[in-house]
Chains A and B, each alone.
Chain A
Amino acid sequence: MTRRSTLCYAFLVVGGILFGTVAVAAEDEVAVKPFYTPKGADTCLKCHDEDSALPVYAISKTKHAQPADGRTPFAGLQCEACHGPGAEHAVFVQPGEKQAPIGTFGKNGSMTVSQQNQVCLDCHRGQERLAWQSSAHERNGVVCVSCHQIHIAHDPVLATRSQPDVCYQCHSKARSEFLKPSKHPVRAGKMACGDCHQVHGSETAALLKQPTVNDTCYTCHAEKRGPLLWEHAPVTEDCRICHFAHGSVQPTLLKKRAPVLCQQCHSQFGHPSIPRSASGLPGNNPSVFLLSGNCTNCHAQVHGSNHPSGAKLMR
């Protein structure tokens, strides 16, 4: 063993011991808390019963309250696993005196946004929350409890029927869109925002679940996926070029009324773009270019065609 390697080993051993000592000391420092409540949740529930301003009894019916699952708060420090040591807070005070604070959540909680979210992320940091940091919701100061209700048996945001109302609290425009004549079945309770959106963070536009807008649409509309012999270029790129995603005053979620929708991009030689005015209505000279399906009366395959003679999307 050379002198240099001996020194290296010595350095590592001494360093390791020092680091370990410091780490253990630090752990001990954090671990030994003299101010936890004497009876855990029983201390808290004594006051926070169903008649209190902040009732929490129902938490015992949630997945967080599962003592046999070692990951959950109730397998450990119960309420204080999230709210922090509560002995000081639990001290009885005389009327008029202020209760000592404890870590509380929500818009007016005692902890900052990042502190609140960190409590949750310490356990829930995997899977769809991989991209939470710097996501639109995180950057806008959304805390987990802005959407989730922790102390009730059934969190509304986790159910298809009730989830949209939670999202509408901030996204009121979406509620309006789902009331439009043409829409996805959200109001009917058959779709939820989370069916398309990854609300905990995504790199796709509008926090979508799939890597692209079209991939998200194709999860339910796989027949539009192709690839086809004669593709309609915008279809392959982004469904939103022609469609709104939530709802529209036009049929089939279209952004504009055809034939004008089509005339925005098509004005061909021999098939020029003609203003299809009231002269094409019944009583005048009813026009195949204006009535019923107008452009799609002939060019029915607007999403593309796999027919050898479908170059004009007519077969």
Chain B
Amino acid sequence: MRFGIHISLLTLLCATSLNVAADNAAASVDTSAWKCAYCEFDQGVTATVTGGFGVVSKDSFKFGEYSGLREQGIYVIGDAVADYRNVDNASYWDISALNLGLDTRSLDMAGGKQGLYRIFLSYDELPHYISDSARTPFRGNGGARLTLPADWVTAGSTADMSALNNDLKDVDLETKRTRLGLGVMVAPATQWETSLKFRQETSEGQRQIAGSFYFNAAELVMPVEYTTNLLDAAVNYHGKSWQAKLAYHGSTFNNQNNSLIWPNPYTPMVAGADQGELALPPDNQFHQLVAALTLGFGDSSKLMADVAFSRLTQDANFLSATRNANVSVAGLPDDSLQGRVDGTNANVKWRSELSDKFRINAAYQYYDRDNKTPRRSFDWVITDVNVAAPRTNLPYSYRRNTFKLNADYDIASSLKTAVGYDYEQYKRTYQEVEQSQERTVWASLVSRSLDNADITMKYAHAEREKHGYQVVAGIDVPENPLLRKYNMADRDRDTLGLRMDVAASAQSTFGLAVDVAKDDYPNSSIGLVSSQESHLGIDVTTQVTKRTSTSIFLSHENIDSDVAGSQMYNVADWNGSLDDSFDSAGIGLNHIVMRDKFDVGVDYVYTTSRGRITYAEGGADSQLPEASTRLNSAKLYGNYRLSQALVLNGSYWYERYTSTDWAFDGVSESTVSNNLGLGQEAPSYRENVFLLAVRYKL
């Protein structure tokens, strides 16, 4: 018996170190009788094809925002998954083609010889349907030059644009990303791996932008024709005591359109101010080299370090300062920006296990964004109307140093604690605060004292201090000197997290998560003064019967913040309180009617959001209408196996979405006298979707 116990304990201990000695063990253990006769290895080709159709009841961009189901009508359902395995020589290939009948179709192909090489090819489409309620009098939408109809009559305000109503036309705001990837991974030796990956991503479509002549604005449609190429190459070594990686990441961005030109729909304020030109994102390049190393010192200590050097450049030709030939402005100091940003990122981390119960971790992180773009003075024109005082560009740089020291101590196997201290320092150029630092202390406790419950708590307190705060020289007109930009201002932050996971029984689990974060900006009289975020989440899963399972989640989130402002360029004379909340709930139910034959289920999700803004000014409160959304989504589904190879899938999906938004509700193209809008509406829809498909296993 005693011998048996020893053997058992030894068995457990061996399990942890077995892989280390696996080769030796495998070589010495007599495995001649290990035939794996019961192993059901896949050999040859296996494939599953799904085909069918779906019916969508109504047009809605919001419903089809990312799913592609944006139009009323019939959609083809088409999925195909095929695999090939050869157990004798470890060669394989996998093909997965999904959503073939939708705008979200994707294709993934990979193959090779396991342990030696892998080749892959991927294709993916991702639409983003933004708005189907926009209207505009401009023509040429989606191109780089907009025009107005021949009968257009300019006016000083939108209400007086007499041809507006006749000239309005629908315009959809949408983009589509198409991603093509290919690559190869080769493992020339057991501990070496090299990879080369290429990805080309194109984004095409049209989005909203705006252009103005002083305070006369117009919402416009800008073209999106972007191509991004990404190349990643890496060499990895993973030995027993040390691992290393050397990698290159390169990315080029190309925009087919360097500007958007639009005619001024208003009566020009000055002669010649009859068209404007907006710069669109210029071509750029990014190159980065990364090296990483992990060193083990025995079983108890580890050193991890990595460094990355990057260079970002942009040198597209400048547009002219104005399209108004009547404005006389000095020439540009150069033809292009010659923009260049060098980045350096370095991390060093040390972990040491001083005993079975006590571990310390120390880390240093360094990041430097060194903007080497030359500074030059530009004579510029305010919205093609008049020449402004020269401005010199401010190539922002910043440097961040972070130190972290923390310790884990296991009071008992079921009670673990950790404490830590973090120090973070920022140094910025051309900004209000040249240097700031934040100190954080935190502690956490993990308890598994109860057999069926895990409790985790973490509390952190942070204080951020800035060194001085001065209005940035060179920005005309200056900001209120009492303003404190919240990403640099003094701040006290307290965060608390609590998580509890209870296995109420072998069939039921219960999870509770609470997160609270409270920020105070004690020295900010104008700007963000305070904010608080809180979240409560509950999860329950239950195996009701052997055939019925359910999962339920509930979540509540609140974000409150207070902002102070000054309309007299003096001390604060108003306060704004923002109260955003979001609630969600869901239930999933699955029931196996006949094992391996027939199962049914339902997934229901409910969400609601509310955003409230209240202003306090001169002792009186004023509140904007509540901005809200509500979603009810229910899916019923069933799968019925007609034969060993054939499964019938059917589902019905009902979704109802309503929203109110004071920024759009009742706002037509001409509601605002000095903003020629797109007249978009807050989206609402009620959709019924039926899907029927068969899945056939070849």
Contacts and interface: CB of A to CB of B under 8 A. Distances in A.
B276 A315 contact: yes
Nearest to A57: B40
Nearest to A84: B15
18 contacts: A42-B38, A72-B114, A74-B36, A81-B26, A88-B11, A115-B16, A220-B201, A222-B228, A225-B253, A225-B312, A230-B393, A236-B371, A249-B627, A267-B566, A286-B671, A298-B212, A307-B319, A309-B384
B281 interface: yes
A308 B561 CA distance: 36
B253 A119 contact: no
B36 A40 contact: yes
A159 to B, nearest CB: 9
A300 interface: yes
A276 B227 CA distance: 39
B166 interface: no
A149 interface: no
Given A77-B26, A88-B7, 16 more contacts: A57-B40, A61-B42, A83-B15, A89-B11, A111-B12, A133-B302, A172-B539, A173-B515, A176-B582, A227-B373, A268-B480, A277-B615, A286-B667, A291-B671, A301-B278, A301-B279
Interface in B573-608: 574, 576, 578, 580-582, 584, 605, 607
Nearest to A30: B21
B308 interface: yes
Interface string A46-77: 10010000000110110101111111101011
Interface residues of B, number: 204
B33 A176 contact: no
B12 A110 contact: yes
B480 A264 contact: no
Contacts of A306: 279, 281-282, 314, 316, 318-319, 337
B25 interface: yes
A274 B567 contact: yes
Interface in B88-140: 88-90, 104, 114-115, 124, 126, 128
Given A36-B29, A227-B337, A310-B279, A266 B34 contact: no
A175 B555 contact: yes
A270 B219 contact: no
B294 A67 contact: no
Contacts of A233: 394, 396, 428, 430-431
A266 B5 CA distance: 72
Interface residues of A, number: 149
A262 to B, nearest CB: 10
B286 A249 contact: no
Contacts, number: 523
Contact of B16 (A111, A273, A282): A111
Given A61-B42, A100-B4, A309-B382, A126 B15 contact: no
Interface string A285-315: 0111011111011101100011111111011
B667 A282 contact: yes
Nearest to A263: B565
Contact of A190 (B104, B557, B665): B104
B673 interface: yes
Given A260-B576, A264-B527, A66 B380 contact: no
A33 interface: yes
A311 B394 CA distance: 10
Contacts of B625: 278, 281
B378 A298 contact: no
A141 interface: yes
Given A68-B90, A130-B294, A119 B16 contact: yes
Interface string B513-542: 101000000000011100000010101000
B629 A181 contact: yes
A9 interface: no
Contacts of B304: 130-131, 133-134
B478 interface: yes
B18 interface: yes
Given A179-B607, A218-B251, A315 B373 contact: no
A307 B630 CA distance: 41
Q: Taking chain A's interface residues, is the majority helix, strand, or loop, or is none over half, making it mixed? A: loop
A32 B294 contact: no
Given A66-B87, A211-B367, A272 B243 contact: no
A289 to B, nearest CB: 9
Contacts of B318: 229, 306-308
A238 interface: yes
Contacts of A274: 565, 567
B596 to A, nearest CB: 10
Interface string A124-138: 011100110110000
B286 to A, nearest CB: 6
B11 A267 contact: no
A53 to B, nearest CB: 10
Contact of B566 (A189, A190, A272): A272
A263 B563 contact: yes
Interface stretch (B145-153, B265-273, B481-489, B639-647): B481-489
B545 interface: no
Interface string A243-259: 00000011000011100
Task: Specify which of A35, A101, A314 lies most central, judged by the most chain B CB atoms within 10 Å of its CB.
Answer: A314
B200 to A, nearest CB: 12
Nearest to B284: A225
B355 interface: no
Interface string B392-412: 011110100000000010000
Contact of A31 (B28, B341, B611): B28
Nearest to B657: A181
Nearest to A308: B321
A176 B339 contact: no
B491 interface: no
The list of the 6 closest CB pairs from A to B, nearest first, reads A126-B238, A103-B15, A84-B15, A40-B34, A122-B19, A307-B279
A185 B388 CA distance: 43
Interface in A137-196: 139-141, 169-170, 172-173, 175-177, 179-181, 185, 187-190
A236 B605 CA distance: 37
B41 A60 contact: yes
B437 to A, nearest CB: 16
A115 B18 CA distance: 11
A156 to B, nearest CB: 14
Nearest to A49: B38
A212 B215 CA distance: 37
A226 B527 CA distance: 27
B674 interface: yes
